[in-house]
């Protein structure tokens, strides 16, 4: 299946969706001018991936900033992952946050409350 | 001769304007159309100024959050308003001030009077809510709220109150029988963080 690699910019996150190498990551900053069209390929990719997911799916979020419009789309992504999990597959979300960023940590906790999927909070320094 | 006088008057105005800005500790002021490019430019400018001032990371992050949400509010809503009055159509004012203990982010844009009630209700509801209430409302809006065609999900005001922990101060000033100028100011205090 096709691999998605999008370089991060000052207002859009880096995105890696690589089924063959078990890499799924969204990182950096997210305040795109048009959130819906930015995340559309990600959601489409996940729809296709959900047809035949890997044995274990680990999805990494390592965002340093996202705006409220992005928060809605991130939830849409998490809900797709929840569906894959509900279909009986092994799924893990890793939510990375800077150790001194309580708001980002809390955002992860909130998503973990909303979606029913194994969720791991990972703090990092710097 | 008249022209010379006008120029002098204008320059005197600029000096007064400068003094007023200083007195109100305004570090950034902009009038005009708010685009995504402007949003990027202002946030990165303020960010580098804050970094230069060795502002703590959490203060920087909160100011950044509030600026983005405020700017996006205007950019999404200012053009809802179609006015033949060039003074108010599709534009707004945006300013950032930096006091000893706080940052303020203020926006102003024209709105139709029939939106005042809705905005007031929304802001009053958010202002009355405590931390847990806001968290619940944010979650609900994220789950149930739909993105409008302009990308708004009704989450901006909730997010600002959550990030600042302070009430959103606002004011409507009449422009005409149908329209008002909507001013909103958010404060990020260093002491609370």
pLDDT tens column, B18-41: 999 999 999 999 998 888 999 999
ipTM value for the complex: 0.89
In DSSP notation, A48-115 reads HHTTS--SEEEEEEEEEEE-HHHHHHHHHHHHHHHHHHHTT-EEEEEEEEETT-HHHHHHHHHHHHHS
Shortest Cα–Cα distance, A110 to chain B (Å): 8
Chain B contact probe: residue of A8, A35, A67 with most B CBs at under 10 A: A67
B44 touches chain A (CB under 8 A): yes
Report the b/e string of A80-109 with b at 16+ CB within 10 A.
bbbbbbeeebebebbbbbbeebebbbebbe
Residue B24 is classified by DSSP as T
Contact predicate A35/A73, CB 8 Å: yes
Do the chains contact at B151 and A35, CB–CB below 8 Å? yes
Q: How far apart are the first and last CA of chain A?
A: 35
Do the chains contact at A103 and B163, CB–CB below 8 Å? yes
pLDDT at residue B193 is higher than 90: no
Which residue of chain A is at minimal alpha-carbon distance from B76?
Answer: A33
Neighbours of B53 (CB within 10 A): 10
Predicted pLDDT of residue B78: 57
Contact predicate B21/B106, CB 8 Å: no
Average pLDDT rounded to a whole number, residues B89-104? 87
Q: Parse chain A into domains and list their residue ranges.
A: 4-89+111-117
Comparing B97 with B175, which gets the higher pLDDT? B97
Tell me the chain A residues in contact with residue B145 when contact means C-beta distances shorter than 8 Å.
Answer: 72
Domain harbouring B44, CATH code: 3.30.565.10
Domain that holds residue B61: 2-189
Tell me how far CA of residue A47 lies from CA of A73, A83, A97, A113, B94, in angstroms.
Answer: 14, 10, 27, 23, 41
How many structural domains compose chain B?
A: 1
Task: Give pLDDT tens digits along chain A (126 positions).
Answer: 899 999 999 999 999 999 999 999 999 999 999 999 999 999 999 999 999 999 999 999 999 999 999 999 999 999 999 999 999 999 999 999 999 999 999 999 999 999 999 999 999 996
């Amino acid at each position: 299946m096709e691999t998605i690699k999008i370089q991060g910019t000052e207002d859009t996150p880096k995105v890696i969706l690589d089924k063959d190498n078990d890499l799924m990551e969204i990182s950096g900053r997210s305040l795109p001018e048009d959130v819906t069209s930015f995340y559309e390929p990600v959601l489409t990719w996940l729809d296709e991936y959900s047809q035949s997911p890997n044995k274990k799916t680990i999805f990494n979020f390592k965002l340093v900033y996202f705006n409220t419009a992005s928060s809605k789309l991130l939830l849409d992504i998490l809900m797709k992952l929840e569906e894959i999990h509900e279909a009986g597959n092994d799924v893990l979300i890793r939510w990375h946050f800077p150790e001194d960023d309580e708001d980002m940590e809390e955002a992860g906790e909130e998503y973990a409350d909303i979606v029913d999927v194994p969720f791991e909070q990972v703090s990092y320094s710097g | 001769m008249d022209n010379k006088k006008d120029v002098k008057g204008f320059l005197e105005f600029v000096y007064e304007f400068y003094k007023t800005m200083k007195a109100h500790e305004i570090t950034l002021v902009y009038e005009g159309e708010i685009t995504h490019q402007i949003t990027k430019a202002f946030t990165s400018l303020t960010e580098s100024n804050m970094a230069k001032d060795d502002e703590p990371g959490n203060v920087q992050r909160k100011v950044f959050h509030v600026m983005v949400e405020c700017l996006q509010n205007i950019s999404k809503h200012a053009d809802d308003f179609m006015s033949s009055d060039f003074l108010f159509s599709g534009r707004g004012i945006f300013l950032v001030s930096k006091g000893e203990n706080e940052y303020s982010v203020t926006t102003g844009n024209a709105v139709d009077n029939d939106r005042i009630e809705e905005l007031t209700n929304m802001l009053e509801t958010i202002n009355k809510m405590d931390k847990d209430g806001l968290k619940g409302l944010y979650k609900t809006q994220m789950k149930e709220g739909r993105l409008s065609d302009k990308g708004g999900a009704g989450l901006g005001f909730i997010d600002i109150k959550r990030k600042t922990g302070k009430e959103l101060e606002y004011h409507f000033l009449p422009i005409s029988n149908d329209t008002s100028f909507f001013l909103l100011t958010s404060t990020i205090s260093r002491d609370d963080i």
